[in-house]
Chains A and B, each alone.
Chain A
Amino acid sequence: MNLTHFWILIASLFLGQLLLLLILAWRKQQSNKRESIIDRQYKLLTDSFSSHMMDPSDERFITELNASPYRLVVLERLLNHYVSVTKAGADSPAVSRLSEEFLSERYMKLLKRGNWAMRMNTLYFIEDFRMESLVPQLKEKLAKSSRLDQETQQLIRTLASLNETMAIGALAKYPDASARLYIDVLKRLDELTKLDELDIALKDENTNQTLKHSAISYIGMAGITLFLPRIEEELQHPEMETRIQALKAILHLQYMNSPSALAPFFQSTAWPERMFAAQIAGKLQLSRYKETLGELLGDPVWWVRYSSAEALTQFSEGDIVLTHLAESHPDRYARDMANQWKTSLLGSEQ
């Protein structure tokens, strides 16, 4: 290769780079231009959109929207913003109507052909806008998926938000589905469907233990006291994990029909059961267990000692009991724990 060829190569490489740079700059400029038009359109339509959301008979927004060159993007942004700032947003019939009318076709295409980010965003929008007409497409997509990746997880959440109970069945196909995901699905169902599904999940014939644990956990978190007798029944369950979930739920519900059912847990060989039993005794101020709590203050496990002392502080004369135990408990660790809580009680009083 002589020098001329070398220079030609250098020049062509340089020109190639320059061309690439120019193309990128042009694309960026185009995208900025598009964004600024969308931004302008968004601001322009905010007024008529607000009026339309308050009074759907005000058709000014529809006329203005149809005249906009980027109507779908602008509408998507307006709706997305609306559901994020207003409480009524997600259940607003106007949001569903507008999204079904203008966006369903676009979302159908995106679900099939868009890239991952686009598909994920679409799933979120379908959930937020409650677009029921897309349920068949979502079900079809779910049937095709074989892995519980992020997209499938969101697909299942979206179906749940559209009150599709098959979302729970779909999760059951994946043994690695987490309790968190089950809870996500349960909380998205509407109130009546949710009660039915929780009922089914708690039944003995349900062999899906993750679902059962999630259901118990969710009942506690959501404070659904309707299920309290069923949760108390689960305290007799042969599996420890189920019993622990039931104890946790009772702690959240802050109520028990039969406090005597708690007694065996203070002698359990599993320390989490002893710990939760102590916490419940304190939270519900079950004074019949005050003596037991004093004994548990000398438990070999720190968490149990800690929870027992904390439980004692919940009683009206808890400080006196702790002072007494700090001096007279036969176990040194129990005396230490009582002292620690006694001091913290004094601190909170000051």
Chain B
Amino acid sequence: MEPKGIPVVIALDGQKGTELFYTLHPQMVLLDANLPDADGFGLAERLAEAGRSRHLPLAIMGEDDRIDNQIRAMQAGATDFLAKPLNMAYFLPYLANRLRSQEIVLKGTRIDELTGAGNRQAFDEVLLQMTNLAERTGKPFTLALLDLDHFKKINDDYGHSQGDEILHSFSQFVLNLKRDSDSFFRYSGEEFALILPETKPQEAAAFIDRLHKELSETEFAVSAAAPIRLTFSAGVSEYRLKQETIVNKADQALYQAKRNGRNQTMVYQSEEQELKRKLNIVIVDDDSLVRKLVAKQFSNWKAEEFDIQIKEYPDGLALVDSDWYRPEENYMILLDGVMPKMDGLEVLSHVRSQYPHDNIVISMLTSRTNESDIVLALKSGADDYIVKPFYAQEVVARVQRLTQRMFQ
């Protein structure tokens, strides 16, 4: 599905599936009838109920395609029953069909009648969906707020109905020029919002500047008067992980654009240190030489996208007792297996049970080499297992690969 431009997240069991459903608000759900931890039909019923308001297509897939199961699927609220193995030639057109239908149905309730752009409710939903997706996959997006300059004067000069015409025309102008993947909304009054997925703020600003240029060459007809030209100001802000104020920041940038004389685009600039995300490399090992060797090796790692800070703890208890965690930062924890006071596995279980998974990657760095220890560590939530003796460069290379997903 992904090569067709449909982002997919996979859950191996019902619990994870439910968690993803509520955090990502997917547009469609494909559910196996036989899950390791839940009855697929029961789960389908709950998800269908929760997704009813957004007309969620929900397909149950099962090897046993007897009519009884198909009836159960329909009774549970599923929209379809798909027999396994899936026929891929049928599957992709089916999927496209369902998503298109949903889009058409949703359009009726999510479109701003006056302008044809998405309404405020749609904006809120899409923004939530995009932030959740960004949190899960690390893929950023950019929000641009567009505000028509001197719109009050248009209303005053030509009347409100002409003003509405202008809003509609401007909206169509942007809708025609935006990329398919971008979403355009009427945010309020003469203020519009454009969400640009997987787009850097500079790219967004370049696109908006093109809009400025095109707009400057476009005339808008108003009845019984000469056509007028429009300008708008724009504020752009990129979504960064754990950030809740993207709209405020875009709004601040927009304000700045207005203050600078209108008809321009401003990208939100915070202080340098705020702009760069932070990766904390936490080394927990009772062996001071190992801590130093690994720390020194990491100190040579110069990452462009984020700042690296290295913290060392002489044992597990020192980490657990300290105030090490900041929700807005990212962590890579290297844990020794055998430590006095608190064992590496205990620390691992503690971190995994007390803190979120998304921004904490844990790798064991230990001399325990038997298979059962490795399996236990991975089951307890370790992302990697590095055995001592180690190559310091190899540790860094593995950590770089592991942390990539946090900063994609």
Report which A residues bind B (CB closer than 8 A): 43, 46-47, 49-51, 53-54, 78, 81-82, 84-89
Contacts and interface: CB of A to CB of B under 8 A. Distances in A.
B289 interface: yes
Interface string B378-389: 000000000011
A89 B389 contact: yes
Interface stretch (B57-65, B106-114, B266-274, B291-299): B291-299
A61 to B, nearest CB: 11
A88 B395 CA distance: 13
Nearest to A82: B289
B317 to A, nearest CB: 19
B165 to A, nearest CB: 69
B183 to A, nearest CB: 49
Contacts of B394: 87
B290 A85 contact: yes
B325 interface: no
A85 B288 contact: no
B173 interface: no
A82 B289 CA distance: 8
A225 B288 CA distance: 42
Contacts of A88: 391-392
A86 B288 contact: no
Nearest to A83: B389
Contacts of B295: 50
A53 B388 CA distance: 18
B389 A86 contact: yes
B389 A53 contact: no
B389 A84 contact: yes
Interface residues of B, dominant DSSP? helix
Most A CB atoms within 10 A — which of B293, B297, B390? B293
A86 B396 CA distance: 13
B292 A46 contact: yes
A46 B389 contact: no
A46 B390 contact: no
How large, as a class, is the contact surface on chain B? 10 to 19
A295 B296 CA distance: 64
A50 B388 contact: no
Contacts of B390: 85-87
22 contacts: A43-B288, A46-B288, A46-B289, A46-B292, A49-B289, A50-B292, A50-B293, A50-B296, A51-B296, A53-B293, A54-B296, A54-B297, A54-B392, A78-B289, A85-B289, A85-B290, A86-B390, A86-B392, A87-B389, A87-B390, A87-B391, A87-B394
Given A81-B289, A85-B289, A87-B394, 4 more contacts: A50-B295, A85-B388, A86-B293, A87-B391
A85 B391 contact: no
Interface in B264-306: 287-290, 292-293, 295-297, 300
Nearest to A78: B289
Nearest to B294: A50
A85 B289 CA distance: 9
Contacts of A43: 288
A43 B292 CA distance: 10
A78 B290 CA distance: 11
Nearest to A84: B389
A47 B288 CA distance: 9
Contacts of B293: 50, 53-54, 82, 85-86
Contacts of B300: 54
A51 B390 CA distance: 17
A46 B290 CA distance: 9
Nearest to A52: B296
Nearest to B392: A86
A89 B390 CA distance: 9
A50 B288 CA distance: 10
Interface in B233-268: none
A230 B237 CA distance: 71
A47 B392 contact: no
Nearest to B367: A85
A184 to B, nearest CB: 19
A277 to B, nearest CB: 31
A54 B296 CA distance: 8
A118 B269 CA distance: 65
Given A54-B297, A85-B287, A47 B389 contact: no
A50 B391 contact: no
Interface in B169-211: none
Most A CB atoms within 10 A — which of B295, B300, B392? B392
Interface in B357-408: 388-392, 394
A53 to B, nearest CB: 7
Nearest to A90: B389
Q: Closest 10 CB pairs between A and B?
A: A50-B292, A50-B296, A87-B389, A87-B391, A50-B293, A46-B292, A46-B288, A81-B289, A54-B296, A85-B389
